[in-house]
């Protein structure tokens, strides 16, 4: 065996040894919307995980009449009544969907994903999904049909459970803002590169991050190119990993 092969084998073995026995392989599903004759449609999805509202993005959506699907948590709904009011005042633009009650990843074994502790059991996954739907019901919004878990990664068994509850699971095809941590320029570049059928994910809950400015620039660039925006309820979404079929 060549030295570098030995080296990689050693890494593989040590990773296997330190992995907790119950950690599952997680999946990060993709989602596209079906192409239509005449093309040029993209779906913008924005997560409101917790925290506040990025009014740069919210105002730009209203001013430019850009429809969006907003994934909200119970935590975010509690502290952002003014933003919810604006969204509810524009039902032609905003579709509110389920991002969970407490923003815990929909993974039914105990593990950490990007440093966030998973729900950890089937019961806790169900509670996360149902609490998110219940929090939305209080706002008077239509019952959510889509779910996106915190971190957008899932255990396959959690995906099956969430589908049984009647939700489709919203993956994405373009990671617009890298969890809201990218700079404005790179965020704008990624979003502006969206093509017919793409589903963009970004965040609307980090008003102090530079990424939000890039979200606005990227969306305006797409609009200028003549692309149209649809919400998930208005398009046929096709996801992998059993998330929509």
Judged by the rule CB under 5 A, the positions of this chain that interact with Zn ion are 47, 49, 150
Closer Cβ to Zn ion, 150 or 227, answer by number: 150
The tokens for 178 are 């890298």
Q: Are 171 and 199 in contact (CB under 8 A)?
A: yes
The tokens for 244 are 């929509």
- Distant-in-sequence, close-in-space partners of 175: CB < 8 Å, separation ≥ 6: 190, 201
Least distance (Å) between residue 70 CB and Zn ion: 11
Distance CA 144, CA 237 (A): 15
Closer Cβ to Zn ion, 31 or 150, answer by number: 150
Least distance (Å) between residue 141 CB and Zn ion: 18
Closer Cβ to Zn ion, 49 or 60, answer by number: 49
Residue among 14, 79, 57, 103 nearest 203 (CA): 57
Closer Cβ to Zn ion, 84 or 150, answer by number: 150
Least distance (Å) between residue 200 CB and Zn ion: 15
- Distant-in-sequence, close-in-space partners of 167: CB < 8 Å, separation ≥ 6: 98, 129, 144, 145, 146, 147
Closer Cβ to Zn ion, 49 or 77, answer by number: 49
Closer Cβ to Zn ion, 94 or 172, answer by number: 172
Residue among 64, 63, 61 nearest 94 (CA): 61
By beta carbon distance, the residue nearest Zn ion is 49
Least distance (Å) between residue 155 CB and Zn ion: 17
Closer Cβ to Zn ion, 47 or 198, answer by number: 47
Least distance (Å) between residue 147 CB and Zn ion: 12
Least distance (Å) between residue 3 CB and Zn ion: 43
Least distance (Å) between residue 122 CB and Zn ion: 21
């Amino acid at each position: 065996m060549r030295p570098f092969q030995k080296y990689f084998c050693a890494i593989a073995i040590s990773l296997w040894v330190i992995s907790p026995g119950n950690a599952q392989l997680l999946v990060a599903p993709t989602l596209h919307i079906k192409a239509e004759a005449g093309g040029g449609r993209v779906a913008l999805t924005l997560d409101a995980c917790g925290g506040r509202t990025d009014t740069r993005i919210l105002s730009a959506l209203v001013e430019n009449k850009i429809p969006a699907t907003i994934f909200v948590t119970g935590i975010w709904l509690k502290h952002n009544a003014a933003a919810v009011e604006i969204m509810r005042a524009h039902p032609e633009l905003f579709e509110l969907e389920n991002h969970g009650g407490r923003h815990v990843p929909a993974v039914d074994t105990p593990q950490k994903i990007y440093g966030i502790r998973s729900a950890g059991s089937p019961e806790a996954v169900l509670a996360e999904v149902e609490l998110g739907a219940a929090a939305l019901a209080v706002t008077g919004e239509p019952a959510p049909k889509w779910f996106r878990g915190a971190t957008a990664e899932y255990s396959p068994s959690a995906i099956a459970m969430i589908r049984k509850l009647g939700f489709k699971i919203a993956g994405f095809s373009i990671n617009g803002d890298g969890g809201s941590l990218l700079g404005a320029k790179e965020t704008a570049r990624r979003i502006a590169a969206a093509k017919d059928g793409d589903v963009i994910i970004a965040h609307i809950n980090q008003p102090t991050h530079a990424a939000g400015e890039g979200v606005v620039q990227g969306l305006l660039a797409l609009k200028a190119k003549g692309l149209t925006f649809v919400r998930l309820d208005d398009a046929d979404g096709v996801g992998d990993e059993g998330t929509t079929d």
